[in-house]
Chain A
Amino acid sequence: MTIGLSHYLVLAALLFGIGTLGVLVRRNVLVVFMCIELMLNAVNLTFIAFSRYRGTMDGHVISFFVMAVAAAEAAVGLALILHLFRTRKSLNVDEANLMRH
């Protein structure tokens, strides 16, 4: 059997779902952050699969930009996590709830 577009889209949907599950279920801020990277990756896979399907290369360029944004986000986010840990001595996202009150 041939592998079609929908196979790749299903794989991307699964990865995105697992990433969302991780963001909602896990409480360690580092793991939450990793799950966000996983979701970004799933979106990249969708872009590239559709790009291959359409025969154009715009999806590749957009994936490239997504990677650049992910790199920038990782740098700033990990700096924030470092600062959070130094302030609170904890990585639990439920404890950093000051803005909620």
Chain B
Amino acid sequence: MEAFFFYLFASLAVATALAVVFPPMRGARAPIHSAIALVACFFCVAATYAMLQAHLLAVLQVLVYAGAIMVLFIFVIMLLNLQTDETARTEVGFVKVLSGLLVLATTAGVIGFLRNDDVLLPISKQLVAQVAHPETYGSIEEIGKLMLSEYLFAFELTSILLLASIVGAVVIAKRDPRSTFMPEALKQQLYRERHGKSASGRKGGA
């Protein structure tokens, strides 16, 4: 039973994650499709959290990731109101193919390492039973105790981080680009891009 649900949610998670990277339909709405696929992927990962008896984390995953972060993403996508297709212009380059192959090879290597029973023999057979108090494992109470004792400093630092990010997000998003200081080099680059030489200017790099 556990195996059935694990394979169900794992395959769904991988499929939706692939749909994020390679959305089924190209076009101006591709980012929205990617975002929806990512929400589905987060739900599947939350299900695997629940299977690992991390109930609080499963709920937080749905609330924070699928609820807050992805709503912010979709909000920004709607706000930008994209008319053109950003992905249509990208061509399959040598670097892209090479990086894709590298990632695939690395992932295959990691999986092969994990599937090798000699490496992980003591741990690969099962997820362990020696939880001291299985009835309270993963409960809010236990996480709260740990967070406010052993991880108290990190907990307090998180509050500072969140405050800083709130202020930073407001300052950056509120600023009007026309009225802000713009470096001369950026001005020149934007001018080049808007006046015909964009084909040669965009390549840049080299």
Contact = CB atoms under 8 A, between A and B. Distances in A.
B191 interface: no
B199 interface: no
B87 A13 contact: no
Contacts of B137: 55, 57
A60 to B, nearest CB: 5
Contacts, number: 267
Given A17-B106, A37-B38, A71-B68, A25 B99 contact: yes
B25 interface: no
Given A13-B107, A38-B17, A65-B154, A6 B114 contact: yes
Interface string A55-67: 1011011011101
14 contacts: A13-B114, A44-B45, A52-B54, A55-B137, A58-B150, A61-B151, A63-B54, A75-B166, A76-B169, A78-B72, A83-B173, A85-B80, A92-B89, A97-B205
Interface of B: 2-3, 6, 10, 13-14, 17-18, 20-21, 30-31, 34-35, 38, 41-42, 45, 48-49, 51-54, 56-57, 60-61, 64-65, 68-69, 72-73, 76-77, 79-80, 82, 86-87, 89-90, 96, 99-100, 103-104, 106-107, 110-111, 114-115, 120, 123-128, 130-132, 137-138, 142-143, 146-147, 150-151, 154-155, 158, 161-162, 164-166, 168-170, 172-173, 175-177, 182-183, 185-186, 189-190, 193, 202, 204-205
